[in-house]
Amino acid sequence: MTFDQNLHEQVNHILSTCNLDTNGKDNLFYARLMSDIDTIFHLYKEIYGNHPNGQQQFEALIITMANAFKQRGADLKNRDEEKADQGRWFISNELMGMSLYVDRFCGNLQELPKKLNYFEKLGVNFLHLMPIFESPAGESDGGYAVSNFRKVDDRFGNLEDLISLRKDMQKKGMYMMLDIVLNHTSHRHEWAEKAKAGDPYYQDYFYMYDNRWLPNQFDEKMPDIFPESAPGNFTFNQECNKWVMTVFHNYQWDLNYTNPVVFREMLDNILFYANLGVDVLRIDAPAFIWKQTGTSSQNLPQAHTLLRLIKQCVMVTTPGMALLGEAIVAPKEIMKYFGTGAFTAKECDFAYNATHMALQWDMLATGDTRVMLAAQHEILQKPFGTSWINYTRCHDDIGLGYDDYMIEHTGKNPYEHRQYLKNYYSGALWDSPARGALFSSNPKTGDARISGSLASLCGLEKALYENNEPQIELSIKKIIMMQAHSIFLGGLPILFYGDEVGYTNDYSYQQDPGKSYDNRWMHRPNINWDKNSRVDVEGTIENKVFASMQKLISIRKKLKVVADQSNLTWLTPHNIHVAGYLRTDGENKLYCICNFSNQAAYLTWYAFKEHGFISSKLFDHWSEKEINVGYDHEHLIIEPYGFYLFEPVKQ
Ligand code: GLC
């Protein structure tokens, strides 16, 4: 970026009104701002250069950043510096996450500190608290319809409780992730209420139209996100007689980012969250923040420009907060959220490894690793210094959004293949052990996603119902293998609460009118602490799953090679049932070998030797046994749904 003297003078002038000690305690902020301002301005101009309010809002943006820095607590500023000293602190193998609904996990924010010992026992030191800001009951989308970005919903407690929790967590060396719901607000948000009342200033915060002319044009190319419960992308609002863009549910109003005031207000909210002590900010649905007729209004270049702008502003103001872009889109598109060109690794620090997550389920249903492998050349493009969130389940559905060519590559028909997976996981196949359900079936396109808890999709629910002991054991093996595969893959693994003890589907949502239209609630359990206390009772399912998770996590924390240094190589598929990858860091190596089939698998020892010298013995961290490496014509035998975590024994 070229140095722009006028811009620097202008910014100095703006800052002179902000009461900053630029030579003293605020010097770091000042230095960062001045070194990044050309980039910030360039990005800003790309979007708002021609907007009549552009210049005025740019000044307001600088003031917003300066104020946020001034309000940042001394403890957080110190933490920023500690993190800066560690470099990319978030790629550490010592981090292990869990995502949870505070109310369903333990009631409220005051109770959560009492559960920190539970996380410590498990080894989890990074918590994603599902949305806790004010959201109208019954029209909440699990908190993703926010009516006040700065008020904790009464159900959970208040801001003081949140800050006190964060402090307790930090004392224990834990990290916190919260969401910013960037794309939309609840229709009960103050801005939306004012827009409904007819105020044109606030109507410009949303996409609102007097007639269907533009909505029709948008609808032509925009897919339906929730085709069953919220078809179409617009909702007619009778209070103001306008059509409002509502891409998700009709109570979620899309924010209009062509208006620079909206961007500045939302950046202010982002920095507010940073100042609560958030370590990683999950940016909800960033793929949707820019709309344009004639396009799908997803993944547009302007959405990336806005994210880069956010990243720059955060790096200047609250640099310790990393960004996760929740882009659950096509594999090629996901990669772009890490930044491209001059902005490579300068957009989102994290993205969800959604492609791989879905492919794990593909492998589990088919026992065949080839589609997964066909996708890896895309997934491996992730820039150095950025990282994945790896997961087997989260609060959302499983979308089979990987590309058709990945399926075709294996000689399968994409339509029939997806049909098989949907039938397998929804329990429609008579011999399938899985108990899930189809989510958001779209009769127009034939698309559908999958709901269901990890345990139910792995067969535990059915096996328990049938009281089938061998199947119960087999489903536990699947659960553990699925988790092992994702925990060592490279990135930050995030468990979904309940999965650490094997919760099966909860069908009580069907009785709640605020939830019954959304079957994702079947895999969002209400934790029963009596059940969870069985983790200490030897031989129970809870104990078996929990103890295995504990062990996997402790292995992860021991092995530096697992930190995401973009150091992953897939083993050649000598056996298509076996997914094997190698993590390397100088002399250190770890082979993670998983058998996704229900038969014992044989893997030639040559598979290990293809990747350079290997010692004659391997230590399996999982069974804690040493094993001799055989000749090429001999085989490692992996039991059904078994896995190995091999480290070569140094000789
Ligand atoms: C994200 C959330 C999902 C929500 C949607 C709309 O995808 O993960 O739960 O429904 O955004 O906010």
Distance 499 CA to ligand 1 centre (A): 20
Give the position, in ligand 1's atom list, of the atom nearest the Cα of 248.
Answer: 6
Between 280 and 615, whose confidence is greater? 280
Q: How far is CA 259 from CA 198, 202, 264, 302, in A?
A: 18, 10, 9, 13
User: What CA–CA distance (Å, rounded) separates 430 from 628?
Assistant: 42
Q: Which of 80, 179, 224, 284 does the annotation list as catalytic?
A: 284
Per DSSP (E only), the strands in 321-368 are 322-325, 350-352
Per-residue pLDDT at 556 exceeds 90: yes
Per-residue pLDDT at 157 exceeds 90: yes
> At 580, which helix (H) or strand (E)?
strand 578-585
Pocket flag, ligand 1, residue 229 (CB < 6 Å): no
Summarize pLDDT for 13-43 with one digit per residue, the tens.
Answer: 999 999 999 999 999 999 999 999 999 999 9
> Strand 322-325 vs strand 350-352: parallel, antiparallel, or unpaired?
parallel
Residue owning the nearest CA to atom 12 of ligand 1 = 144
Summarize pLDDT for 415-445 with one digit per residue, the tens.
Answer: 999 999 999 999 899 899 999 999 999 888 8
Pocket flag, ligand 1, residue 285 (CB < 6 Å): yes
Summarize pLDDT for 490-536 with one digit per residue, the tens.
Answer: 999 999 999 999 999 999 999 999 999 999 999 999 999 999 999 99
Displacement of CA 149 from its chain's centroid (Å) = 20
Distance 5 CA to ligand 1 centre (A): 43
Best residue for ligand 1 mutational test, from 129, 135, 141, 394 (most atoms within 8 Å of Cβ): 141
Read off the pLDDT of each residue in 301-308 and give the average, rounded to a whole number: 98
Confidence (pLDDT) at 361: 98
Confidence (pLDDT) at 228: 87
Residue owning the nearest CA to atom 4 of ligand 1 = 144
Read off the pLDDT of each residue in 196-206 and give the average, rounded to a whole number: 98
403 a catalytic residue? no
Pocket flag, ligand 1, residue 645 (CB < 6 Å): no
Q: Which of 179, 254, 279, 326 does the annotation list as catalytic?
A: 326
User: What CA–CA distance (Å, rounded) separates 651 from 645?
Assistant: 19
Query: Within 13 A of 649's CA, how many CA atoms are on the CB side?
Result: 13
Per-residue pLDDT at 229 exceeds 90: no
User: What CA–CA distance (Å, rounded) separates 521 from 528?
Assistant: 16
Distance 300 CA to ligand 1 centre (A): 18
Give the position, in ligand 1's atom list, of the atom nearest the Cα of 141.
Answer: 10
> Strand 133-134 vs strand 126-129: parallel, antiparallel, or unpaired?
unpaired
Identify the CA nearest to 254 among candidates 280, 222, 221.
222
Distance 158 CA to ligand 1 centre (A): 23
Query: Within 13 A of 127's CA, how many CA atoms are on the CB side?
Result: 29
Per-residue pLDDT at 360 exceeds 90: yes
Q: How far is CA 445 from CA 12, 224, 231, 285, 439, in A?
A: 54, 10, 13, 22, 14
Mean pLDDT over each residue of the chain, to the nearest integer: 97
Single-letter amino acid code for the residue at 437: A
Confidence (pLDDT) at 612: 83
271-277-279-280 Cα dihedral, nearest 10 degrees: -50
Pocket flag, ligand 1, residue 248 (CB < 6 Å): yes
- Percent pLDDT > 90 in the chain is 96
Summarize pLDDT for 615-630 with one digit per residue, the tens.
Answer: 899 999 999 999 999 9
354-321-146-127 Cα dihedral, nearest 10 degrees: 60
Confidence (pLDDT) at 3: 80
Per-residue pLDDT at 2 exceeds 80: no
User: What CA–CA distance (Å, rounded) separates 514 from 641?
Assistant: 38
284 a catalytic residue? yes
Summarize pLDDT for 452-465 with one digit per residue, the tens.
Answer: 999 999 999 999 99
SS3 (DSSP) at 504: coil
Confidence (pLDDT) at 569: 97
Confidence (pLDDT) at 333: 97
Give Cβ neighbours of residue 418 (< 8 Å, ≥ 6 apart): 400, 407
Pocket flag, ligand 1, residue 207 (CB < 6 Å): no
Distance 615 CA to ligand 1 centre (A): 47
> At 519, which helix (H) or strand (E)?
none
Read off the pLDDT of each residue in 222-251 and give the average, rounded to a whole number: 95
Pocket flag, ligand 1, residue 394 (CB < 6 Å): no
User: What CA–CA distance (Å, rounded) separates 624 from 48?
Assistant: 59
Confidence (pLDDT) at 444: 83
Confidence (pLDDT) at 614: 84
Per-residue pLDDT at 4 exceeds 90: no
**Cβ–Cβ contacts within 10 Å for residue 573, how many?**
17
Pocket flag, ligand 1, residue 290 (CB < 6 Å): no
Pocket flag, ligand 1, residue 142 (CB < 6 Å): yes
Per-residue pLDDT at 1 exceeds 80: no
Confidence (pLDDT) at 613: 79
Displacement of CA 443 from its chain's centroid (Å) = 28
DSSP 199: -
Extract the tokens encoding 617.
């013995």
Give Cβ neighbours of residue 323 (< 8 Å, ≥ 6 apart): 280, 281, 283, 307, 310, 311, 314, 347, 348, 349, 350
DSSP 402: S
Extract the tokens encoding 477.
């093996």
- Phi first, then psi, for residue 603 (nearest 5°) are -125, 125
Identify the CA nearest to 598 among candidates 642, 635, 637.
642
Helix axes 541-558, 469-487, angle to 10 degrees: 20
Distance 343 CA to ligand 1 centre (A): 26
Give the position, in ligand 1's atom list, of the atom nearest the Cα of 184.
Answer: 12
pTM, 2 dp: 0.97
Residue with tokens 């127009």: 444
Read off the pLDDT of each residue in 267-293 and give the average, rounded to a whole number: 98
Summarize pLDDT for 570-582 with one digit per residue, the tens.
Answer: 999 999 999 999 9
Summarize pLDDT for 365-398 with one digit per residue, the tens.
Answer: 999 999 999 999 999 999 999 999 999 999 999 9
Confidence (pLDDT) at 460: 98
